[in-house]
Amino acid sequence: MNQKDNKNDHMAAYWMPFTPNRTFKESPRLYNRAKGLYYETSDGRQVLDAFSGLWCSNLGHCHPKITEAIQDQAAELDYATAFNFSHEKAFDLANIIAEQFPETLDHVFFTNSGSEAVDTALKMALAYHRINGEGTRTRLIGRVNGYHGVGFGGISVGGMVNNRKFFGGLLTGVDHLPFPYDAAEDAFTRGEPDTDPMKYLKELEQLITLHDASTIAAVIVEPMIGSAGMFVPPKGYLKKLREITEKHGILLIFDEVITAFGRLGEANAATYFGVTPDICTMAKAINNAAVPMGGVIASKKIYDTFLDGTKAGIEFFHGYTYSAHPLAVAAAIAAQCIYKEEGIYERVRNNIKFFEDGMHSLKGEPFITDIRNFGLAGGLTIEQRDGVIGARSHDFFLKAYEHGINIRTNGDTIAIAPILTSSKQELEPIFDILKKTANDIQ
């Protein structure tokens, strides 16, 4: 272990993801166990999980039905060879998922994470055009500040600078649309801003004119912007995006890694917005994050093109050893049952207005320069200190943890994503602690 390793020697070996290792290991935050809405820390404190883990534990932690399903599955079939073999429950789950997406989306490919789902979706789009006789369609279009995981495909179409700048040339032939939110006009909007969506989409038309549609494979966007700090595109943005892409034969991919399974009070954002893309990704809440899992759902047109357009043998040269892993599938079937049987999406819909009011009750508290809300997701912007990006919002995050809630910070933003089973009474302390936190930082 080298000099930079600190007094907590047993912590030196683990190189933590998306974490300042130096400061974390000086003052670690460890969760020992979790139940329902709460984590228990290693020093025995209860922390209210106001971020559903990482946008993923939508049904609360250690749900007994999910735990039991995983335990039973581990004892019955721990692993089924994923290529040229499978297991019955994988097909059951694909049907359960397909039922919940708009009708034309009906073929599900399983992955182990959101990042893998994104790279799968991009490869699917590229291969589709080639098999369809339009092999010149190779360009991909993402968005400034977009987050699509950490694979090379995902960071190429993604638009968060620190996730890109260290990693070389990335994929070639990628463009980015503008970030569809302007704090100068949209700050403190409840839900979707009223801004004309063409303010942000005319650039797509310009890119089509510049490159010609025959070179463009797909546009990928997060329907609701999560990782950049929870931002909401203007009303009509996704409908307009669908119109433009459809007109030019460009595939539209919704990255639904955080919006699928309840965050907006529907099974997915495509259903919520009434806009049907060609491909959707999913992950996280698919199985309440109890076992790593992701997936991609594609339209019949895409699936049929692969099957009809390839002569024999494998149609899509892609897959993972753990695609449709039996434990992940068992957890997902249990989670999907709970979403349905306990009416979770409806419960979310009933709490959206209360959550919106709670978030906007923070207006006027120190350092809060913007408040956003959508479904059961909230975003704050925290005024920078001394021109250092994230300095004060990181303090906000730490202080909130000290006061007993788990939230997320990125740059100058704070994001809130309560567990979807929370009652109004259980949401209330989140706002109280956020207020207290804003008043306790410098």
Ligand X SMILES: Cc1ncc(COP(=O)(O)O)c(C=O)c1O
Q: Minimum distance from CB of 115 to ligand X (Å)?
A: 3
Q: Minimum distance from CB of 364 to ligand X (Å)?
A: 30
Position with the least CB separation from ligand X: 114
Segment contacting ligand X by CB under 6 A, of 80-88, 98-106, 111-119, 123-131: 111-119
Q: Minimum distance from CB of 226 to ligand X (Å)?
A: 5
Segment contacting ligand X by CB under 6 A, of 252-260, 373-381, 415-423, 425-433: 252-260
Residues 55 to 84 in contact with ligand X, rule: CB under 6 A: 55
Q: Minimum distance from CB of 333 to ligand X (Å)?
A: 20
Q: Minimum distance from CB of 54 to ligand X (Å)?
A: 6
Residues 208 to 237 in contact with ligand X, rule: CB under 6 A: 222, 226-227
Three-state SS at 370: strand
Q: Minimum distance from CB of 292 to ligand X (Å)?
A: 7
Residues 154 to 213 in contact with ligand X, rule: CB under 6 A: none
DSSP letter, residue 314: -
Question: Judged by CB under 6 A, which of 39, 58, 100, 114 binds ligand X?
Answer: 114
Cβ neighbours of residue 255 closer than 8 Å, sequence gap 6 or more: 114, 117, 118, 121, 146, 148, 220, 221, 222, 223, 280, 281
Distance CA(321)–CA(112), nearest Å, equals 9
CA distances to 236, 239, 246 from 274, in Å: 10, 8, 15
The answer to whether the CB of 200 falls within 8 A of the CB of 194 is: no
> DSSP letters along 323-350, please?
TT-HHHHHHHHHHHHHHHHTTHHHHHHH
Question: Judged by CB under 6 A, which of 101, 147, 200, 339 binds ligand X?
Answer: 147
> DSSP letters along 207-235, please?
HHHHH-GGGEEEEEE-SSB-TTT-B-PPT
Question: Judged by CB under 6 A, which of 140, 155, 216, 257 binds ligand X?
Answer: 257
- Residue count, binding to ligand X (CB under 6 A): 15
Cβ neighbours of residue 12 closer than 8 Å, sequence gap 6 or more: 1, 5, 6, 25
- Site string (282-321) toward ligand X, x via CB under 6 A: -x--------------------------------------
Task: Give 255's strand partners.
Answer: 281
Q: Name the residue nearer to ligand X (CB basis): 118 or 371.
A: 118
Tokens matching residue 205 = 């038309």
| Contact flag: residue 322 with ligand X (CB under 6 A) | no
R_g of the chain, CA atoms, integer Å: 22
Question: Judged by CB under 6 A, which of 106, 119, 175, 255 binds ligand X?
Answer: 255
Segment contacting ligand X by CB under 6 A, of 18-26, 146-154, 233-241, 372-380: 146-154
The answer to whether the CB of 285 falls within 8 A of the CB of 308 is: no
Residue 155's Cα: distance from chain center in Å? 14
Distance CA(182)–CA(54), nearest Å, equals 25
Report the greatest alpha carbon distance in the chain. 66
Question: Judged by CB under 6 A, which of 61, 129, 143, 148 binds ligand X?
Answer: 148
| Contact flag: residue 149 with ligand X (CB under 6 A) | yes
Q: Minimum distance from CB of 149 to ligand X (Å)?
A: 3
**Contact positions vs ligand X (CB under 6 A):** 55, 113-115, 118, 147-149, 222, 226-227, 255, 257-258, 283
